[in-house]
Amino acid sequence: MDPTHDARRLRPRDPRVAFVAATVLVAASLVTIHDSRAMLGALVFACVWHLVATGSAGATAKSLARVLPFAIVIVVLNAVLAPGSALVALAGRRVVSREGLEDGVFFALRLGVMLMAVAAFLATSSPESMARGAYDVLRRFSRRIASQVALFVFLSMGFVPLIGDEFDRIRVAQAFRGGDFSGSLWRRAETARAWMVPLLVSAIHRSGELAKTVEVRGIRDRLVHTIEAPRAGLADVLLLLATVAMAVVTAS
């Protein structure tokens, strides 16, 4: 038997379970976790979930790297601005406070937990499975609303990679024209404007074309019935149980 196929079977795939797990993680980081060690444990759990969902340590490291600059800013600002006992002092004046540094680390870990939980949820679920999962949850209340929400979820999630590809294309084109983020603040602002304006124009154009395609091909009425309904497997059950157990253990 193909070991790659076995590895995929061990990955959670049900978007409904992934959404609940991500919600529990975020709620725990905001409400029940009040200790940096427990928050670090929640972050490790979110990273392991992301690693299992993607099967790539590089992808997990890349997601963490996106959080790192914001985490550094949070830690530095809290350490310098928050009052407390002096951890680092110059000429008798407090520069870094101990309490501020501890709070900064805690808030940075909280940000990491929330962003990694969302990243793991997105890595676990495809646009098709998200759309069908949203439909299966809402159809008990209203099939019409469920169909509309499913279409919105499918189109919006499928639109994200298109915007990413368009951004890369514009970035490369502007780089060949000398548009980088070096130099003065004013020059960086001009560079950002040169990137964002064509990106917004392209997004509006693509969204218009996508809306026409949806109406002409009748995707609005046929979408849900052409997508296989997600089914929770053993990996999804284990993910949910592990998330709940982590939230209970780290509660303080």
Region 127-131: mean pLDDT is: 71
**Distance between CA 191 and CA 50 in Å, rounded?**
34
Domain residue spans of the chain: 3-125+232-250, 129-217
- Maximum mean pLDDT: which of 85-94, 148-157, 205-214: 85-94
Top-ranked range on mean pLDDT: pick from 182-196, 215-229, 231-245: 231-245
Mean per-residue pLDDT of the chain: 78
Rounded to whole angstroms, how far apart are CA atoms 190 and 40? 39
What confidence score (pLDDT) does residue 109 get? 93
CB 151 within 8 A of CB 135: no
Compute CA 179 distance to the chain's CA centroid, rounded to the nearest angstrom. Answer: 28
- Name the residue among 121, 120, 76 with its Cα closest to residue 101: 76
pLDDT at 115: 92
Give mean pLDDT, residues 208-220.
65
Give the C-alpha distances (Å, rounded to integers) separating 205 from 162, 164, 169, 170: 12, 15, 16, 15
pLDDT, tens digit, for every residue of 60-86?
998 888 888 889 999 888 888 888 787
What is the distance between the alpha carbons of residues 19 and 237, in angstroms, rounded to a whole number?
A: 13
pLDDT tens for residues 103-115?
999 999 999 999 9
**DSSP-derived pairing of the beta strands 86-90 and 93-97:** antiparallel
Residue 207 confidence (pLDDT) above 90: no
- Given a cut of 80, whether residue 137 has pLDDT beyond it is no
| Cβ count within 10 A of residue 129 | 23
Written as one letter, the residue type at 117 is A
User: What is the spatial distance between Cα 108 and Cα 95, in angstroms, rounded to a whole number?
Assistant: 20
User: Which of 48 and 229 is assigned the larger pLDDT?
Assistant: 48
- Tokens 């409400």 sit at which residue? 31
